[in-house]
Each structure stands twice: as C-alpha cells, then as structure tokens.
A and B are shown apart, each in its own frame.
Chain A
C-alpha cells in the first residue's frame, strides 16, 4: 500500500519567527495520490466518525475522478465551511480514527489512516478559489422571517449561512469589534489563515447576512427587546468564553495569563505587532504553558513566536499532568509545537507560583505525578506524589485549563435554563432553549467542543427554525 501523503509545511526553524500558515494544502497531484489510497469501503466507518456525517467516501471518490466540483458540493451538503474544518478539525479523533486503516484500539488515528482533513481542505479551497457558491434556495415564504444570531463564531456563522440560503433575513450580533469569534481571537493565523475566515464571512455577506459588531446582546439589547423588534427567532452561539483558572497560590501575579487573554491580545489585537498596534503583550524568557489541549498548543506556539520575533532564546515549555498519549490536543499540533522548539514536561502537577519584588511571577512549583486508574474522561487519572516538589523558572505563564460557558447573556436572562456546568439546556432534537423561539448551539451547549460539532448543532437549529416557521 502507498505511503500517506504528508502536506507540505513551512520549515520549522524559520516559521517560528512569523504567523504565516504552517501547513500548505495538497497540490492536485498530492490530493490525487492520497485520494487513491482510500479503499472505498463498502461500509465506510469514517462517516460515523464525522460529527456532521459528511459522505467522506463519496467526496474522496469524486477527487479520484478529478471531479473536484462534486467533491466540494458533497462536503457542502453537510459542512458549510470545509476550508476551515479541513484546517482545524481534530480529524485524528474523528473521521480518521474511525478509518479502517487505523489500528484497532488506538486512542487516535494511525498514520496510515487516510488524510481526510487534507482532502477536505483541498476540496474546500478548490471551491473557494473557483467561486463555487452553493446556489441559494431562497423561498418567498421565508423572506418575511427575521432571525437574530448572537455571536459570530463557528455556530453563529453556520446558522446564519443556513438560514440566509433559505431566504431568511439574518442579523448577526457580535460583541467584539471583529467577526469570527474563536476563529479570530482564539485560533492563531498560523493554523487558520485569516484570508479563509474573511472569505467565508464575506460569502455570508453576499448572501445578505447583516453583521453588527460592538453589540452585546444582554446589555446593548435584551432577548425580549429583540423579539419586540420583530425577530421571529433567535440563535445563541455564545461560545465557551470564560477561562478556568486553577485556584493556585499566586495565580494573579503579573505575567500570568489565561490562554484566552494571551491569544486575544495576539490574535485579535495583533499585539505581536506592538507598537504599530497599541495593545501590548509581555514576552517571557522562560515561558510555561499549563494544559494539554489545542489551546495550550496554540498558546505555546504563540509564545515561542514572540520569543523568536523579539530575539529571545527559545524557551517555552508545556506543563501537563498526564503523559503525551493522554493529551487532548491534535497530534499534529503537538508535533508542530515540538518541531518548532516547544519543550514538554509531563506528569507535572502545578502547585503554586512564586513572585519577584515587583509582583511578577518568578517560578512555578510543581509536584511530580503518576497515572492511576482511568477517570470519567476515560484517561488515566494523574495522582500527585507527595513530597515530590520541584521548581521551574518562569517569568511568564499561560493557563490553558479549559473554558466555561459564556455568562454575559445568561446572567441577565434568568429564563434561560442552564445545567450544573452553566451550559444552556436545549431540546436535543431542535436545539430550542427554555425560551420559545430561542435556539442555541456550539460550546454554549454541552461545553467545549470542536468547530465541526458547533456547526452540526447550528445546522440542526437552523432546520428547526425553518420547520417551525
């Protein structure tokens, strides 16, 4: 069997000095070679691994026939943003893990598994570069419907696109000054080129979607006021915007950032271009990033780039309390981080921070940990070893310990029912919340998930809104 085709990447040494997209898409030839490896299983397992059920077998078949147009439209039946998902989907935990070529029992996809995400990206970019818009099926009966979409992240964009294609008048409200939500403030440009994001948002604008930035629903306008203004439905794609801290001693010292703050300063506010852009971010000589997810990898790679840009010796270390195999991050991100020079300290449980005279963090005290029995997440539980304290020098620390549901709207709208995690409770069939006509999707429902899961929920909500109209 042929070897998997790796996508080309920028050289690890030089790319750490800029924010350019690291992975290049497949060339036509590479896409054809990779697609030809697909076994076209009679009963494809990969599709069951996709949260939105893309007909992976079919789109790959179209690629093998050089019918890229059909490949694109096949994906678009289920996924509005293939160019985005092809770049950010954790495919090795989803479709690629389900691929028949992945070894049984493996916690993530084997290398041999078809590179479905790269093929999706290829098809998505083909569609984008050839202006292959899905023809709008705008129906007159929907033209008097008005829907307010709250939040312009993956869920909001997807819901807006679905509805606009039916001819529904959609207004998207975003509290930040730029649209895109986590795709802009969270995911760095070296993982998702801003051209792609802007293209998708501009496509929605061409469909007639209206975007209002600097508008915080709950404060600028309440849910009730939106209904009073004539909206027939509201979709809440509020996201998981609240950073979790660890509750450690010294956690509020200077230069200890949540990953959200660190990434927002750099990605949204362009602090890496300070002083041309006015928002500052500090740069550490010894940077520690606490966490093992994609956000931790993003933060570490951003920190490393800041060190390189400012001529510091590269020294950024990820601290994780389990081992590499349990890390929830995409394998590719871990590999990229390592190639670029990020260090890893596994089986280390942060205990407390120490400070210097000015109130800046000076070190992190950790305990060594060992792995015990699997916990509710299925991963082996880290058990700190008493008396195993050790210190790590640290003048800047980023805490990437997860996110909780955004409370900005929920706290001012008591009628919205939430669960014990403060996530919104919805009807799983329709995504309707406890308020009639108010739907929700993405991380505000069910906690931190992926872009594609958010889109799946948004699509479901859009269908329910159409059905109930």
Chain B
C-alpha cells in the first residue's frame, strides 16, 4: 500500500500530527464513516487500528491522520511519499449509524477531531443540524478547523491554554449547549476522560450518546478479545461490536486501565529506537 502524499498538519514543541494518503482501492470503495483500518508499517510492526478520515473511491485512495505518540505512530510518521506499508486491512468495525437524528453535537479532542470529520460530513448529508466542538492543547495542535467549519452549522473551539478559542474543556462548552437547548445526539471521539465527560453530560440531559472507542487491538476481526470493553455490564469487542458504543454504558475506568497495559514496554522500545533520538 503505497503512500501518495504526506503532510504534517500540526507541529508543536516536537509533537506532530501527520496526514497520509494511501493507495487502497478496495478499502476506498467500501469504507463508511466511523470505520477503521488496521495497518502494519513493516513486517516486524504492530497491528494498529486507525480511523479512515477521508476516502476517494474514484482515485482509489484513503486518508489517515494520526498523532505521533508511541513507536508505531512515530515509525509511520517517518515514512514518506512513495513508501509502502506492509499491511492494510479494512474497512473494519461497524460504520457509525447515520440517520437524521435532528440536532447533533460532535465533540472532537486532539487527534479525535480527525475522526469526527467523516461522521460530521455524513450526518450533515443525512439532514442533521451539526454543532462541532473542537478541543486541543493549544492553537498549533488544532487540526481540521476549516474542514469541520464546512461540515458544521456551528463550531466552537476550546484550548487548554486559551491560545485559541475558549480556554477550557470541550465538555464545558458541551454542558452549556445541552443546558440551553435540546439536542438529539452527542458523538464524541478523543481522550478517554473527554469521552467519559461527554457521555455523562449527554446522559444528564437525556440525549443519545455515541463514542468511538480506541481500545488496543491485535487482529481486529474479533479473534483475540484484546479490545474487550464492558458496556452496560456486557463484554463487547470494540473491533467487531464497535467501535461506536453508547457512551453512557461504557466502563471507562476499565478501558483506561487496559489501554495502559503495555506502557512499560512502550517506554522501553521508544528509548531504544533511533526514531526518538
């Protein structure tokens, strides 16, 4: 799977968010909003799930956006146009349920903003009124603001340091909106504490809540159970039962702990890797 373009869309004090487009004709024809692909950078690499942000079935391309954090994303970010990925499998997971809910709020935090973009576009197309709330650490890590402006009727931005938009959390804005007006759906993707708060706020105002979970995966086709999460007390596999779930039922504590299961190894492998020198 050849990379046909690569762009660093945010760069801030060493943190990079990268956008790559790949030749993936099968995938580009099939993918729907909310679905993901599993990629391997090389034969020795991990299998990691990444949401498909855009697809062009005529050209046979798909676009992925990721923040360089651990070894695999750093490794992926080190590739250039013309390089090949060892493996790409997809589309995986259920598409987000797209219908006319009425008024929808989409909350994206950090690189999660990239993941709400295809859903915002699809929901807009289905006739929904879209309010997007974007959150980032600071101004230079805010991504896709223009794209989401186009896909939304209203847009709000919050940054942790107040360098752009409002100082504070996306979920503060969310609570205010829910308090003022009636909405029919809250869809959120981002860090676990953010999704948790967004789901809780939605629950408080009796609004449907969807979250796209970022559990660790291996095969991502339902065979290993690595990505299992508890939703309303039932064990579900994020890869085949999700990745979208009703956020009001998710055991966030459990998910947060499970996602940190390999932190020690991650630190170790990053320390050894020349990519981090």
Chain A interface (Cβ < 8 Å from any Cβ of B)? 175-177, 185, 213-216, 219-221, 241-243, 245, 251-255, 257-258, 260-261, 264-265, 269-270, 274-280, 282, 358-360, 406-408, 411
Most buried by A among B88, B230, B240: B240
Question: Judging by beta carbons under 8 Å apart, are A264 and B240 in contact?
Answer: no
Any chain A CB within 8 A of the CB of B124? no
Give B119 Cβ to nearest chain A Cβ, in Å.
Answer: 19
Please encode chain B, from 226 to 251, with 1 for each CB lying within 8 Å of some chain A CB and 0 for all others: 10111000010000100000000001
CB under 8 Å from chain A, chain B span 23-68: 26-27, 30, 40, 44-47
Please name 9 pairs of A and B residues whose Cβ atoms are closer than 8 Å in the assembled complex, sorted by A. A175-B219, A214-B88, A219-B90, A220-B89, A243-B224, A261-B225, A269-B47, A278-B45, A406-B223
When distances are taken between beta carbons in the complex, the residues of chain A under 8 Å from B262 are 280, 282
Give A394 Cβ to nearest chain B Cβ, in Å.
Answer: 15
Any chain A CB within 8 A of the CB of B8? no
Question: Judging by beta carbons under 8 Å apart, are A274 and B261 in contact?
Answer: no
Any chain A CB within 8 A of the CB of B180? no
Given contacts A242-B222, A275-B272, contact A254 B258 (CB under 8 A): yes
When distances are taken between beta carbons in the complex, the residues of chain B under 8 Å from A360 are 261
Question: Judging by beta carbons under 8 Å apart, are A359 and B257 in contact?
Answer: yes
Any chain A CB within 8 A of the CB of B135? no
Question: Judging by beta carbons under 8 Å apart, are A407 and B257 in contact?
Answer: no
Nearest B residue to A403 via CB reads B223
Given A260-B223, A261-B225, output 17 extra A-B contacts at Cβ < 8 Å: A177-B89, A215-B26, A216-B90, A216-B92, A242-B223, A252-B229, A254-B258, A261-B226, A264-B218, A275-B268, A277-B44, A278-B44, A279-B45, A279-B47, A280-B266, A359-B258, A406-B221
CA of A98 to CA of B21, assembled, Å: 59
Any chain A CB within 8 A of the CB of B7? no
Give B275 Cβ to nearest chain A Cβ, in Å.
Answer: 11
Give 9 nearest A-B pairs by CB, closest first.
A359-B257, A261-B224, A280-B265, A241-B223, A177-B87, A275-B269, A258-B225, A214-B89, A280-B262
Nearest A residue to B70 via CB reads A278
Question: Judging by beta carbons under 8 Å apart, are A278 and B269 in contact?
Answer: yes
When distances are taken between beta carbons in the complex, the residues of chain A under 8 Å from B228 are 245, 252
Question: Judging by beta carbons under 8 Å apart, are A245 and B225 in contact?
Answer: yes
Question: Judging by beta carbons under 8 Å apart, are B222 and A408 in contact?
Answer: yes
When distances are taken between beta carbons in the complex, the residues of chain B under 8 Å from A241 are 221-223
Partner of A278, one of B71, B88, B91: B71
Question: Judging by beta carbons under 8 Å apart, are A220 and B272 in contact?
Answer: no
CA of A251 to CA of B254, assembled, Å: 11
Nearest B residue to A244 via CB reads B225
Nearest A residue to B89 via CB reads A214
When distances are taken between beta carbons in the complex, the residues of chain A under 8 Å from B257 are 253-254, 358-359
Question: Judging by beta carbons under 8 Å apart, are A214 and B87 in contact?
Answer: yes
Given contacts A258-B224, A258-B225, contact A177 B26 (CB under 8 A): no
CA of A258 to CA of B222, assembled, Å: 12
Given contacts A275-B268, A280-B262, contact A219 B225 (CB under 8 A): no
Partner of B72, one of A260, A278, A282, A408: A278
Please encode chain B, from 72 to 92, with 1 for each CB lying within 8 Å of some chain A CB and 0 for all others: 100100000000001111111
Give B100 Cβ to nearest chain A Cβ, in Å.
Answer: 25
CA of A277 to CA of B262, assembled, Å: 14
Question: Judging by beta carbons under 8 Å apart, are A216 and B89 in contact?
Answer: yes
Given contacts A219-B30, A245-B235, contact A264 B46 (CB under 8 A): no
CA of A221 to CA of B265, assembled, Å: 36
CA of A213 to CA of B43, assembled, Å: 13
Partner of B91, one of A219, A359, A407: A219
CA of A257 to CA of B235, assembled, Å: 14
Partner of B219, one of A176, A253, A254: A176
Give B216 Cβ to nearest chain A Cβ, in Å.
Answer: 10
When distances are taken between beta carbons in the complex, the residues of chain A under 8 Å from B221 are 175, 216, 241, 406, 408
CA of A258 to CA of B253, assembled, Å: 21
CA of A214 to CA of B269, assembled, Å: 26
Nearest B residue to A261 via CB reads B224
Question: Judging by beta carbons under 8 Å apart, are B89 and A282 in contact?
Answer: no
Question: Judging by beta carbons under 8 Å apart, are B90 and A255 in contact?
Answer: no
CA of A255 to CA of B27, assembled, Å: 33
Question: Judging by beta carbons under 8 Å apart, are B26 and A255 in contact?
Answer: no
Nearest B residue to A220 via CB reads B26
When distances are taken between beta carbons in the complex, the residues of chain A under 8 Å from B92 are 216, 219
When distances are taken between beta carbons in the complex, the residues of chain B under 8 Å from A265 are 218
CA of A134 to CA of B98, assembled, Å: 54
When distances are taken between beta carbons in the complex, the residues of chain A under 8 Å from B269 are 274-275, 278, 280
Give A323 Cβ to nearest chain B Cβ, in Å.
Answer: 28
Partner of A220, one of B27, B46, B87: B27
Most buried by B among A219, A282, A360: A219
Give B245 Cβ to nearest chain A Cβ, in Å.
Answer: 15
Question: Judging by beta carbons under 8 Å apart, are A252 and B230 in contact?
Answer: yes
Give A19 Cβ to nearest chain B Cβ, in Å.
Answer: 16
When distances are taken between beta carbons in the complex, the residues of chain A under 8 Å from B218 are 261, 264-265, 269, 279
CA of A255 to CA of B221, assembled, Å: 21
Partner of B225, one of A215, A243, A270, A275: A243
When distances are taken between beta carbons in the complex, the residues of chain B under 8 Å from A213 are 87
Question: Judging by beta carbons under 8 Å apart, are A407 and B254 in contact?
Answer: no
When distances are taken between beta carbons in the complex, the residues of chain B under 8 Å from A280 are 262, 265-266, 269
Nearest B residue to A355 via CB reads B257
Nearest A residue to B230 via CB reads A252
When distances are taken between beta carbons in the complex, the residues of chain B under 8 Å from A242 are 222-223
Give B47 Cβ to nearest chain A Cβ, in Å.
Answer: 7
